[in-house]
Structure 1
Amino acid sequence: MSNTATENKIQIHVGHSPDPDDAFMFHALANDKIETGKYQFHHELQDIETLNRRAFSGELELTAVSLHGYAYLTDKYALCACGASMGDDYGPMVVTREPMGIEDLKGKKIAIPGTLTTAFLGLNLCLGGVPKTPAKEEHSTGDCGTFTYEVYEFDEILNVVERGEADAGLIIHEGQLTYGDQGLHLVVDLGKWWMEKTSLPFPLGGNAIRKDMGAEQMDEVTKLLRESIQFGLDNRKEALQYGRNLDHAKADEFVGMYVNDWTVDFGDRGREAVARLLQEGHEAGIIPEPVELEFISG
């Protein structure tokens, strides 16, 4: 393609993580496996907490976000109806060096992957905590009343717990499959806890699209994202090669957990789950304002 033709395309800057599920979803867009028409996509790979915080400035047209993070972004972004990461009776976990129960976590220091992660919202709901420092304010340590926390890179948390630098760790991504390799013990799976409480899946992440693009572009870009997700599902073996280094069997298992029918479309039950989680977060005093959800179907 000529430089002129490329320059004439509408540039879409996309933020997503290198985690196996995001990498799987975006494989077709990142590697020119589908026709994107008048759009050209530029991919930026960063951890989810960094993407949550970047979204406050609205610099990316399309970005992966935690659904907790999205609660603070409704002025700038709508949610794509596709691209959900949904834990259906599983989700983020709290692990420790020694076996303990949920009540034993109270008063402990917990290593977390970021205050805007949905995992942190779920942890507070589970333990009855309310952060004394608002989640939107960037900070590295804090107190939720029922527990204290310290922020670490998500892929360091298992090591932090193993070394005894925190009493417990809140783990996301593939750590949910590998914590046992480091001799750690599961205290609570927040996805199971949420399912028992609500009979709903635990909605973790989604893709947000910038509202100032206008309705037509928002629909068209969302449609391309859905095509990319479907391509991955239809070409599973190929799409699994694209992502951060992880044992193939574990990558396959992880993608199976978080890229599925929910990812093609939230559906009514998925939308209900998002609304319920963010409503409970608001009622608990964690999310300051009620959240008006807007989904773009594409």
Structure 2
Amino acid sequence: MTAPAEPLKIAYSPCPNDTFVFEAWAHGRVPGAPALDVTFADIDITNGMAERGEFDVLKVSYAVLPYVLDEYALLPCGGALGRGCGPLVLTREAGTDLAGRTVAVPSERSTAYLLFRLWAADTVPGGVGEVVVMPFHEIMPAVRDGKVDAGLVIHEARFTYQNYGLHKLADMGEHWERTTGLPIPLGAILAKRSLGEATLELLAESARASVRAAWDDPERSRPYVMEHAQEMDPAVADQHIGLYVNEFTADLGADGYAAVRGLLTRAAAEGLVPPLGPDALAFP
């Protein structure tokens, strides 16, 4: 299988899990893999890139898949699914009833948002009130200051919300795992279908080989990871990698595909995303 002559344009985040996964490939240490032209962008940016058909390969939120799978194929590896890493709903007062209340969220094109709406449909009679999109770093201060009644937060906020005097009302990941038994679908790797079946297969092989190279020699990737982690403590970066780079990164497998289809099917039933076609997740 011959690699494309020109470097493929790829966009992924500067987060430790992505730089860990792609380090070997980005530095030409995956034999036979296509060369990469890397752009770093947060996932809300890459979601928009995918919707506009930009870039050959992208790391996106699984929540954006129903909008882009006509043009892009889901690679069966390289992404992020996890357990015990779900988003939280935070409030100023413990046990706040969210019926009719205002909730701040960082994005409406995210797994976190879909999980929140599915949780609310199951547990908030009458539903929540207004949903306000605001930058992630503004959400906890807004809840603390009473500008909104609750906030949906992700990632490191799981460990810092107490600093704002806030309370955890619910863990969206716990609800999802308890009701489905499946991992939480977080980030997906997509590649343009127009690259052709052979290239898509090569991309999947290259992503798997890059993950395995990172696992075989974790120290080799550390300079690249820390260069882009921006002031993150190395121990925190290691925890981040340990949480989000796992067996599903090497291969989605039956549980991974069931988690993705389960999330998007439930979300479509709630009118949150367009329905998936029966073969939408098929690879290549």
TM-score by length of 2: 0.87
Identify the residue that residue 280 of structure 2 maps to in structure 1.
Answer: 293
Alignment of 1:1-298 (within 5 A): 9-30=5-26, 32=27, 34-35=29-30, 37=32, 39-100=34-95, 104-128=97-121, 146-241=128-223, 242=225, 243-245=228-230, 246-291=232-277, 292-296=279-283
**Distance (whole Å) between structure 1 residues aligned to residue 24 and residue 138 of structure 2:** 30
Q: Which residue identity does 1:25 align to in structure 2?
A: V
User: Contact 1:99–1:186 (CA<8 Å) still a contact in 2?
Assistant: yes
Over the matched positions of the two proteins, sequence identity in percent amounts to 33
Distance 1:38 1:223, change over 3 A: closer
CA contact (8 A) 1:279 1:290 kept: yes
Q: Which amino acid aligns with 1:27?
A: E
RMSD of the TM alignment (CA)?
2.3
Deviation string for 1:130-181 (max 9, x for gaps)? xxxxxxxxxxxxxx96232222233443344344433222122332333334
1:236 positional shift? 2.6
Compute the displacement of 1:194 (Å). 0.4
Q: CA deviation at 1:62?
A: 0.6
Superposed CA offset, 1:16-74 (max 9, x none): 111222222222233x1513546221111111111111101211111011111011111
User: Residue 26 and residue 197 in structure 1: after superposition, are their counterparts in 2 closer, same or farther (change >3 A)?
Assistant: same
Q: Which has the higher mean CA deviation after the structures are superposed, 105-114 or 272-281?
A: 105-114
Q: How far apart are the structure 1 equivalents of 2:19 and 2:282?
A: 22
- 1:60-89 CA-to-partner distances (Å, cap 9, x unmatched) read 111011111011111011111112311224
CA distance in structure 1 between the aligned counterparts of 2:8 and 2:282, rounded to whole angstroms:
19
Q: Offset of 1:199 from its aligned partner?
A: 1.3
* Structure 2 Cα separation of the partners of residues 33 and 163 of structure 1: 49
Aligned to 1:137: none
Query: CA offset at residue 295 of structure 1?
Result: 4.4
Contact 2:101 2:149 in 1 (8 A): yes
**Runs of 4+, deviation exceeding 6 Å:** none
SS of residue paired to 1:10: coil
Quick one: distance in 2 between partners of 1:234 and 1:209? 26
Q: Deviations over 1:204-239 (max 9, x none)?
A: 221111100000111112211222222222233443
Q: Does structure 2 conserve the Cα–Cα contact (< 8 Å) formed by 1:20 and 1:240? A: no
TM-score, normalised by the number of residues in structure 1: 0.83
In 1, are the aligned partners of 2:12 and 2:41 still within 8 Å (CA)? yes
Contact 1:111/1:150, CA 8 A, preserved across alignment = yes
Asked if the contact 1:174–1:254 (Cα under 8 Å) also holds between the matched residues in 2, the reply is no
The offset of 1:115, in angstroms, is 0.9
